[in-house]
Structure 1
Amino acid sequence: MDLHHVGREHALSLVQATKEYPFGPETEVFKIRGKMFLYISMHEGEPIITLKADPEIGASLRSSFPSITPGYHMNKIHWISIRNGERITEDLVVGLVETSYHLVVSSLPKSKRP
């Protein structure tokens, strides 16, 4: 599975999601109404995606999947990073991107939600 492709394509399919490059050309950042919900980059030569997660769910995922770690360069409680690995499926990545998007949308004032 191409982790970057799956994350990118699903993020761009979400309502009003935008892609930016605020950290340079090698890091794609996906936002909704100016708030980040996903970023795609490389870490130690490996593709990685980092996204927002509920703290309890993030902790459970980190303990269940060796390829899911605390968010790289982000708040380690509220963000997770995913690398390709055993049991990391397209469905899992799509679901986590969607969950991250909805967590950010729910934090927006109602007047700014899509």
Structure 2
Amino acid sequence: MNIEEFRDYCLRKPQVEETLPFDQDTLVFKVAGKMFALCSLSDYAAGVALKCDPERAVELREQYPAVQPGYHMSKKHWNTVLPEAFLPLGLLPELIDHSYGLVVQGLPKKVRVELGLCGMGADVMKVGVRF
């Protein structure tokens, strides 16, 4: 998945906004103002940061060298995934879905209802595209 595919995949999720809150190089994707994905525009290969369930984060790091503790993020809740390294087909989109779903699940129910996201969670956030 290249940076344009990554960007398009993230933006197809409901209620997602693309921002540059830190500098002109760090692309951040948010839902309801909460981050679920980050990457560098100038060095995409350095990794994308994705939120992850803590237990699953450890399992992924043990299983795949391309999944590492979150760089400049909470290492318990974030992974950095090297998008141009060898990953099983569909793993990166699955991890984006998981990250987005965790953030949506963590929103107050009132906010989820207002945004039309009620009932959406970590396991139902796929946009139907496989890479």
- 3-state DSSP class of the match of 1:46? helix
- Deviation string 1:27-66 (CA, Å, 9 cap, x unpaired) is 1000000000000116988341001000111100000111
Deviation at 1:9, TM superposition (A): 1.3
Q: Which has the higher strand share?
A: 1
- Whether the 8 Å contact between 2:16 and 2:29 is mirrored in structure 1 is yes
Change (3 A) 1:45 1:100: closer
TM-score normalised by length of structure 1: 0.89
**Structure 2 equivalent of residue 37 of structure 1:** 36
**Structure 2 equivalent of residue 69 of structure 1:** 68
Q: Give RMSD over aligned pairs.
A: 1.8
In structure 2, C-alpha distance between the alignment counterparts of 1:43 and 1:67, rounded to whole Å:
19
- Whether the 8 Å contact between 1:70 and 1:80 is mirrored in structure 2 is yes
For 1:17-36, list aligned pairs within 5 A. 17-36=16-35
Deviation at 1:85, TM superposition (A): 1.3
Structure 1: any 5+ residue segments left out of the alignment?
none
Identity across matched positions, percent: 38
- 3-state DSSP class of the match of 1:14? coil
- 3-state DSSP class of the match of 1:95? helix
Whether 2:5 is the aligned partner of 1:6: answer: yes
**Structure 2 equivalent of residue 51 of structure 1:** 50
- Whether the 8 Å contact between 1:30 and 1:39 is mirrored in structure 2 is yes
**Structure 1 equivalent of residue 104 of structure 2:** 105
**Structure 1 equivalent of residue 85 of structure 2:** 85
Deviation at 1:25, TM superposition (A): 1.2
In structure 1, C-alpha distance between the alignment counterparts of 2:12 and 2:20, rounded to whole Å:
18
